[in-house]
Amino acid sequence: MKENYIDVLLAHFLLGTITEEEKNILDSWEAESDEHRKMMEDLRKYPFLTSDYNKYASIDTDKAWRTFKQKTHVRRNIIFFRPYITAAAMVLLLIISGITALWYQNYTRITPPVLSSNVMAAIEKSIESGYADNMLTNNTENATTVERGEDISKEELEVYQLDIDIIDEMLENNHIETLRSHESWLRLDDGTIVHMSANSRIIYPEHFKKATLFNPNVKREVIVDGEAYFMVAHDNSRQFVVHTRHGDIVDYGTEFFVATSDKSTKVALVEGSIGFMAQEGKEMILKPGEEATVVGSGVSVTDKNMNEYRAWNTGMFFFEDEKLESIAHVVKRWSSMNITFADDEVRSLHVSGSFDRYNAVEDLIDAICDVMGLQWARKDENTIIISR
């Protein structure tokens, strides 16, 4: 009976209708045990515990009281454990934040290419021989260097496979044009190494955009005309894209050679993986040892001995069963020296071998003629004729 009476007094307390006499009785009841005192402290300290009672009180006082006692017990436990729950949540948040930070650090980590001793020796020999004045810089005195694209027009860039917003960015980029018979070794902002052949051009930004959690879809984009050998820095967060007149080369961590002109583009994959997307075509994934050639709207993929391009990147000419006529075109592009032939039979002879590109052209011609049993003579200052 007393318990029911106390329930009534508590109900009056919750509703704010308790009299002074009832309050004195409730105070005495509170002092009887720790349990009673704890309940009254909760009622005073956490007013939200009374909300359930007030919801039901106007409808059914008995039901309101039963509901109140059940939920008060549950909420007391929540209140008691709240500091521990909060601490656990903070620890979990710190763990998740740490894991996220480590993942992002690894995701955006840049791994620059490691240059072999052969490549380093080629760079030094190129400089010593006067074919290049720069050593892995993003600028060169032995080239026509224009900052912020002062000599590049919007119309000129429209021939490439570029989005409209990328064209505006490219107009602000640096570009380097190598002079005839000179080459250039560039180290781009991300550590990528680009070996530019003579009479070639690259358009590139001073700094590539960084990938962020809020802007993860950024790319490292350059434009190339002529011949270049790329050793690309690995970065999971940013694709490396080379734009040519006939399509895009998308790097997936690799070394590759590209030769592009108004008429055609050739891409040879030395190591790793690249995708090549001809204009208005689907992306083709190349495997090491494959070479893709685009002429007009046609694309062909063939197997190729990559020693030719590895040799090219280390200062060597590499010919495998190559016609003398084709070799003459290579030598002319490299040295501006014209090589002619006494007759069609000599022109069609095939040669294999590797030759030091930084030696004098005459040394190369001497070596070929010795191997083939031929002879050569200088027709004029810029022309050599080969005969039997």
Calculate the alpha carbon distances from 225 to 107, 171, 176, 261 in Å: 31, 16, 11, 6
Q: Number of helices (H) and strands (E), helices first, in the chain? A: 12, 19
Calculate the alpha carbon distances from 325 to 114, 135, 270 in Å: 36, 33, 25
Give the mean pLDDT of the chain.
Answer: 81
What's the one-letter identity of residue 278? A
Q: What is the CA radius of gyration of the chain?
A: 39
Residue whose token pair is 């064209």: 167
From 83-87, 240-244, 325-329, the region with the lowest mean pLDDT: 83-87
Identify the pLDDT of residue 164: 80
Cβ proximity of 211 and 238 under 8 Å = yes
**Helices (DSSP H) in the chain: which residue ranges?**
2-15, 20-31, 34-45, 51-57, 61-107, 117-128, 154-157, 164-171, 307-313, 324-335, 344-347, 361-372
Please give the average per-residue pLDDT across 187-215, as a whole number: 88
Q: Is it the case that residue 25 has pLDDT exceeding 80?
A: yes
Query: What is the total residue count of the chain?
Result: 388
Residue 149's contacts (CB-CB under 8 Å, 6 or more residues apart) are: 170, 171, 172, 173, 174, 175, 203
206 backbone dihedrals φ, ψ, rounded to 5°? -65, -40
Q: Is it the case that residue 238 has pLDDT exceeding 70?
A: yes
**Long-range contacts from 61-68, C-beta under 8 angstroms, 24+ separation:** 61/11, 64/11, 65/7, 65/10, 65/11, 68/14
CA–CA dist 139, 186 (Å, integer): 7
What's the one-letter identity of residue 218? V
pLDDT in tens, 85-126: 677 778 778 877 777 777 667 767 888 898 899 999 998 888
Identify the pLDDT of residue 295: 85
pLDDT in tens, 360-372: 888 889 988 998 8
Please give the average per-residue pLDDT across 150-169, as a whole number: 80
What is the value of pTM for the model shown?
0.71
Q: Is 284 helix (H, G, I), strand (E, B) or coil?
A: strand
Burial, 286: exposed, middle or buried (Cβ in 10 Å; 0-12, 13-18, 19+)?
A: buried
Identify the pLDDT of residue 267: 95
Identify the pLDDT of residue 313: 93
Other C-beta atoms closer than 10 Å to the C-beta of 355 total 19
126 backbone dihedrals φ, ψ, rounded to 5°? -60, -40
CA–CA dist 209, 106 (Å, integer): 17
